Structure 1
Amino acid sequence: MPTHPEWGRGQVQSVVGTRVTVNFENRGKQVINTGAVNLDVLEEARPPRG
């Protein structure tokens, strides 16, 4: 997250409206309000293997 780079990279777990649950490398699972905080996309989602 731009304001907390020490949290490391994160993986989005779920999105409900403006609430995004992200599992960060160094901080664990956090719920982010994207109405108040911007997240940087480092890698686009990959389609599931099937």
Structure 2
Amino acid sequence: MMDLNAFLEPGMLVRHPNQPDWGLGQVQSRIDQRITVNFEHAGKVTIDGRVIALRPELP
């Protein structure tokens, strides 16, 4: 299965496409397909990059 978030690096800002109420998130780490993101309103969440394509937030 393809990693939809292979371009993400720690420090990048992202949004979850299915959870807009989580707010802006900052990528904490990416190990293989597991991305840990700290969201404004949901806290630290680990996401499977093969299932969810996080949307980068441009500065």
Q: Shorter-chain-normalised TM-score: which range?
A: 0.7 to 0.9
Is 1:6 the equivalent of 2:54? no
Is 1:43 the equivalent of 2:55? no
Alignment equivalent of 1:29, drawn from 44, 47, 50: 44
CA radius of gyration, larger in: 1
**Unmatched tracts of structure 2, length 5 or more:** 1-15
So what's the TM-score if we normalise by structure 2?
A: 0.71
So what's the TM-score if we normalise by structure 1?
A: 0.83
Over aligned residues, Cα RMSD in angstroms? 1.1
Distance 2:30 2:58 in 1: 16
Greater relative contact order structure (CA < 8 Å, 6+ sep): 2
The share of aligned pairs that are identical, in percent, is: 43
Matched residue of 2:37: which SS? strand
Instruction: Extract structure 1 runs of 4+ deviating beyond 3 A.
Output: none
How many correspondences in the alignment? 44
